[in-house]
C-alpha cells in the first residue's frame, strides 16, 4: 500500500510518499481502508520532532473509512462498517490499523469526508468549550485563529452554548469566515492590537476564557485580556512555543488559571469518545454545525498540505485522499 513515511524529523520534505506493507489487525484492533485523512497541526509537531515518535513512522492522526478486517476479540465492529477516528497515528495511508475502541460509527447521513474533517478538531472544540472551561449564556470567550479549522468549530460550539464570542483573524476574508461561523466581534490583528480591542469590547472587564492555538505571538497579551480569575486555555502553538512562565505572573494579573490540555486526555474512555463525537454528528445532522473544507489533496501531495497549513493562509479544514 502507499503511505506517507517520515524517516527523520524536519521540514515538509521529510514526508516521503512510499510503498509499505499493509498492516494486519492484532487483538482488539481493526484494519480500516482509509477514505479521507485529516491534516492537523499535531501532524506538524510530530514531523518536526516537537512531539516524539519512534522513527520511521507514518504521519496522520485522524481519518474516516470502512472497516476491512477485525482482529481477535473485536465484536463491536464488522467489515463494511463506516467509521471515523482521531488520535491514532498512521492515517496518511491507504490502510491503517486502529484500536477498535477508538473507532466511532459514522451515521448514514454524514459523508465520510465530513466525518474525517470533524473528528480531531471537532472533539477538540468540544472538550475546550464543554470541559476545559464550560461555556454558557453570560460567558464571553476570546478565540484566536477564529477562521482556522479548529477556530471556526470553537466559535460555533461556543454559540451553541450561548456564549459571546470575540475572534481574532488576519485578513478581511477570514473575518467574513469568522462572522459566518457566528463570532459576535472580530478583530483583525494585522490592523488592530487585540488586547485594547478586547478591553474596549468588554467595557474593561476582560473575557472569562481565552482559547489560544497560536502560542508565542499571542500568549502574554491574552493573559491581559482575562478578567480576574479568568482562564487561559493554551491548546496549540502555531506561531512557536511559549516562553517559560513564572507562576507569580498569574497572581499579578488577577489570580488567573492556566491549562495546556490535550485531546488524548479528554477522550480517554469509550464513553467520552462517543459523547463528544455523537454530539458533533448530531449537530451536523441538525444543521447547527457546519464544517468548512478549505482544500483536499492527493495523498502524494501531503507535503504541500503541510506547507499550506503552516503558512496560516488557509481557512477551514485540509484533507488528504488516498
**pLDDT tens, position by position, 14-30:** 999 999 999 999 999 99
Question: What is the average pLDDT across 209-226?
Answer: 95
Question: pLDDT > 70: what percent of the chain?
Answer: 100
**Which single residue is written with the C-alpha cell 466581534?**
185
Residue 268 CB: number of other CB atoms within 10 A?
A: 11
3-state secondary structure the chain: CEEEEECCCCCHHHEEEEECCCCCCCCCEEEEEEEEEEECHHHHHHHHCCCCCCCCEECCCEEEEEEEEECCCCCCCCCCCEEEEECCCCCCECEEEEEHHHCEECCCCCCHHHHHHHHHHHHHHHHHHHHHCCCCCCCEEEECCCCCHHHHHHHHHHHHCCCEEEEEECCHHHHHHHHHHCCCEEEECCCCCHHHHHHHHCCCCCEEEEEECCCCCCHHHHHHCEEEEEEEEECCCCCCCCCCCCCHHHHHCCCCEEECCCHHHHCCCHHHHHHHHHHHHHHHHCCCCCCCEEEEEEHHHHHHHHHHHHCCCCCCEEEEEC
* pTM, full prediction: 0.92
Residue 23's Cβ-count burial label (10 Å; 0-12, 13-18, 19+) is: middle
Return the C-alpha cell found at 257: 488559571
Whole-number CA gyration radius for the chain: 20
- Mean pLDDT of the 184-209 span: 97
**How far is residue 136 CA from its own chain's centroid?**
21
Under the banding of pLDDT at 50, 70 and 90, the label for residue 238 is confident
Chain segment 122-165, per-residue pLDDT in tens: 999 999 999 999 999 999 999 999 998 899 999 999 999 999 99
Question: Residue 149's pLDDT is what?
Answer: 86
Cell numbers for 1, please give them.
500500500
pLDDT surpassing 80 at residue 182: yes
Say whether pLDDT at 313 is over 80: no
- 165: burial class by Cβ within 10 Å (0-12, 13-18, 19+)? buried
Residues 264-288 have pLDDT tens digits of: 999 999 999 999 999 999 999 999 9
d(CA 294, CA 289): 16
pLDDT value of position 240: 86
Across residues 60-72, what is the average pLDDT?
98
Predicted confidence (pLDDT) at residue 316 exceeds the cutoff of 90: no
The number of residues making up the chain comes to 322
Domains defined for the chain, CATH in brackets: 2-120+269-321 (3.90.180.10), 137-260 (3.40.50.720)
Q: Is the pLDDT of residue 241 over 90?
A: no
Residue 167, strand partner residues: 143, 186
Amino acid at each position: 500500500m502507499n503511505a506517507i513515511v517520515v524517516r527523520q524529523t524536519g521540514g515538509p520534505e521529510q514526508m516521503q510518499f512510499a510503498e509499505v506493507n499493509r498492516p494486519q489487525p492484532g487483538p482488539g484492533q481493526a484494519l480500516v481502508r482509509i477514505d479521507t485523512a485529516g491534516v492537523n497541526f499535531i501532524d506538524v509537531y510530530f514531523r518536526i520532532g516537537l512531539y516524539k515518535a519512534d522513527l520511521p513512522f507514518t504521519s496522520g492522526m485522524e481519518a474516516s473509512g470502512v472497516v476491512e478486517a477485525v482482529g481477535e476479540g473485536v465484536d463491536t465492529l464488522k467489515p463494511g462498517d463506516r467509521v471515523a477516528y482521531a488520535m491514532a497515528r498512521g492515517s496518511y495511508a491507504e490502510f491503517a490499523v486502529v484500536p477498535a475502541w477508538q473507532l466511532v460509527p459514522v451515521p448514514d447521513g454524514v459523508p465520510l469526508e465530513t466525518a474525517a474533517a470533524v473528528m480531531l478538531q471537532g472533539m477538540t472544540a468540544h472538550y475546550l468549550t464543554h470541559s476545559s472551561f464550560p461555556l454558557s449564556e453570560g460567558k464571553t470567550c476570546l478565540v484566536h485563529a477564529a477562521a482556522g479549522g479548529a477556530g471556526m468549530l470553537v466559535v460555533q460550539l461556543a454559540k451553541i452554548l450561548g456564549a459571546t464570542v470575540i475572534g481574532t483573524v488576519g485578513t478581511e476574508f477570514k473575518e467574513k469566515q469568522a462572522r459566518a461561523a457566528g463570532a459576535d466581534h472580530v478583530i483583525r490583528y494585522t490592523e488592530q492590537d487585540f488586547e485594547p480591542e478586547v478591553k474596549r469590547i468588554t467595557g474593561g472587564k476582560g473575557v472569562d476564557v481565552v482559547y489560544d492555538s497560536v502560542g508565542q505571538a499571542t500568549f502574554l497579551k491574552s493573559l491581559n485580556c482575562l478578567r480576574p480569575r479568568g482562564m487561559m486555555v493554551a491548546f496549540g502553538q502555531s506561531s512557536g512555543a511559549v516562553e517559560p512562565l513564572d507562576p507569580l505572573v498569574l497572581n499579578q494579573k488577577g489570580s488567573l488559571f492556566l491549562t495546556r490540555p490535550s485531546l488524548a486526555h479528554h477522550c480517554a474512555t469509550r464513553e467520552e469518545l462517543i459523547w463528544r463525537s455523537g454530539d458533533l454528528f448530531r449537530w451536523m445532522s441538525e444543521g447547527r454545525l457546519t464544517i468548512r473544507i478549505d482544500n483536499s489533496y492527493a495523498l502524494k501531495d501531503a507535503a504541500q498540505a503541510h506547507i499550506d497549513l503552516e503558512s496560516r493562509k488557509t481557512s477551514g479544514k485540509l484533507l488528504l485522499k488516498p
